[in-house]
Structure 1
């Protein structure tokens, strides 16, 4: 599945129209964010995550979406179930993000 790019304008709509959502918060200047982008895209295509919507949010241009997850560092990942925040992690390790997403599948 393609990674959805969301902004403050459509973030709540994306959360409410998908049961399970993982959000990657990034900034254009963030090197670790750029390095993680291909991993995030690859994970979005994996069959095991077929029921999870993968979303990219620019943390600098979408302050309301950033506040919903309490972003503290970049890259920052948050998982939402039925529009509600489940858990977050500030990490650039794929294993940490996989562990976070797996919280949606239990």
Structure 2
């Protein structure tokens, strides 16, 4: 699956409330660690987990309202949503923790 950018607050609300669980990469263009883990996030989206979860990203400087609502305080932060609720959060550019979170959430579906 291709990682898609969320372009509006309305799109965010629609996606988190949908039938499919999703993971969102909250990042910023100036964030060095975001640039390191971004390609890893993209690569994971091409695995079987990418068929079970929706993979999205939000630029916190462009979509400040979304970042504020979710309570993003550091970048990158990966937040997993299922049925409108956040179910897991991974803070930092930690590929192992990100993969573990994806495995945990996708196996609970």
| TM-score (ref. length: structure 1) | 0.89
1:42–1:18 distance in 2 versus 1, CA, 3 Å:
farther
Across the aligned residues of Structure 1 and Structure 2, the Cα RMSD in angstroms comes to: 1.5
For residue 17 of structure 1, give the secondary structure of its aligned residue in structure 2: coil
Count matched residues: 106
Greater helix fraction, Structure 1 or Structure 2? 2
Asked if structure 1 preserves the Cα contact closer than 8 Å seen for 2:25 and 2:79, the reply is yes
Correspondence list, 1:11-90, <5 A: 11-90=12-91
Displacement, 1:18?
4.5
Q: Deviations over 1:48-100 (max 9, x none)?
A: 34210000100111122112321111111100001211121211011111122
Q: Deviations over 1:24-62 (max 9, x none)?
A: 000011111111111011000001342100001001111
Consecutive unaligned residues of structure 2, counting only runs of 5 or more, are: none
Consecutive unaligned residues of structure 1, counting only runs of 5 or more, are: none
Asked if structure 2 preserves the Cα contact closer than 8 Å seen for 1:69 and 1:88, the reply is no
For residue 2 of structure 1, give the secondary structure of its aligned residue in structure 2: coil
